[in-house]
Structure 1
Amino acid sequence: MALSFFDQFMSPVFLGIPLIVLALILPWFLLSNAPSRWLKNRASALQNGAIANFTHQMFSPVNRAGHKWALLLTSLMAFLFTLNVLGLLPHTFTPTTQLSLNMAMATPLWLATVIIGMRNQPTHALAHLLPEGTPVLLIPVLIIIETISLLIRPLALGVRLTANLTAGHLLIQLIATASFVLTPLMPAVAVSTTILLLMLTLLEVAVAMIQAYVFVLLLCLYLQENV
Structure 2
Amino acid sequence: MTLSFFDQFMSPTKFGLPLISLALILPWILFPTPTKKWSNNRITSLQTWVIMNITKQLFSPLNITGQKWALVLSSLIIFLMTLNLMGLLPYTFTPTTQLSMNMALAVPLWLSTVLLGLRTQPTSSLGHLLPEGTPTPLIPPLVIIETISLFIRPIALGVRLTANLTAGHLLMQLIATAAIVLLPMMPTTALLTFIILILLTLLEVAVAMIQAYVFVLLLTLYLQENI
Q: Which residue of 2 aligns with 1:93?
A: 93
Distance 1:211 1:83 in 2: 11
Superposed CA offset, 1:86-141 (max 9, x none): 00000100000000000000000000000000011000000000011111000001
Q: Which amino acid aligns with 1:48?
A: T
CA distance in 2, matches of 1:122, 1:39: 46
- CA 1:122–1:36 in 2, change beyond 3 Å: closer, same or farther? closer
Match of 1:132 in 2: 132
Q: Confirm or deny that 1:177 pairs with 2:170.
A: no
Equivalence map 1:105-144=2 (5 Å): 105-144=105-144
Distance across 1 between alignment mates of 2:104 and 2:37: 39
Kindly indicate whether residue 152 of structure 2 is the aligned counterpart of residue 189 of structure 1: no
Secondary structure class of the residue paired with 1:39: coil
| Secondary structure in structure 1 of the residue aligned to 2:69 | helix
- Taking the aligned partners of 1:63 and 1:123, their CA distance within structure 2 comes to 19
Q: Does 1:50 align with 2:59?
A: no
Give unmatched runs, 5+ long, in structure 2. Answer: none
- Shift of the alpha carbon at 1:21? 0.3
Q: Give the deviation of 1:35 after TM superposition.
A: 3.7
After superposing the two structures, state which structure 1 stretch, 62-71 or 29-38, moved more.
29-38
Counterpart residue type for residue 41 of structure 1: N
Q: Aligned ranges for residues 74-93 of structure 1 at < 5 Å? A: 74-93=74-93
Name the structure 2 match of 1:26.
Answer: 26
Deviations 1:31-73 (A, max 9, x none): 1122454431122111101100110110011111111100000
For 1:206-221, list aligned pairs within 5 A: 206-221=206-221
Of 28-37 and 210-219, more deviation after overlay is shown by: 28-37
**Partner AA of 2:218 in structure 1:** L
Q: Which secondary structure does the structure 2 equivalent of 1:152 belong to?
A: helix
TM-score (norm 2): 0.98
The letter for the 2-side match of 1:210 is: I
The question of 1:8 aligning with 2:8 is answered yes
Q: Structure 1: how far apart are the matches of 2:92 and 2:56?
A: 33
- Structure 1 outlier segments of 4+, above 4 Å: none
Identify if the C-alpha distance between structure 1 residues 45 and 160 changes in structure 2 by more than 3 Å, giving closer, same or farther.
same
Q: CA RMSD in A?
A: 0.8
Runs of 5+ unmatched residues, structure 1: none
Q: Distance in 2 between matches of 1:66 and 1:39?
A: 30
CA–CA separation in structure 2 for the residues paired with 1:44 and 1:121: 40
The equivalent of 2:160 in structure 1 is: 160
Amino acid at match of 1:47: Q
> Take 2:120 and 2:207, find their aligned partners in 1: how far apart are those partners?
36
Q: Is the 8 A contact 2:114 2:226 kept in 1?
A: yes
Aligned pair count reads 227
Q: 1: CA distance between counterparts of 2:29 and 2:222?
A: 30
Whether contact under 8 Å (2:103, 2:158) holds in the other structure is: yes
Q: Aligned equivalents of 1:65 and 1:35: distance in 2?
A: 28
SS in 2 for 1:28: helix
Q: CA deviation at 1:207?
A: 0.1
The percent identity for this pair of structures is 69
CA–CA distance in 1 between the matches of 2:102 and 2:77?
13
**Does the residue aligned with 2:68 lie in a helix, a strand or coil?**
helix
Given that residues 39 and 45 in structure 2 are in contact (C-alpha distance below 8 angstroms), is that contact kept between their aligned partners in structure 1? no
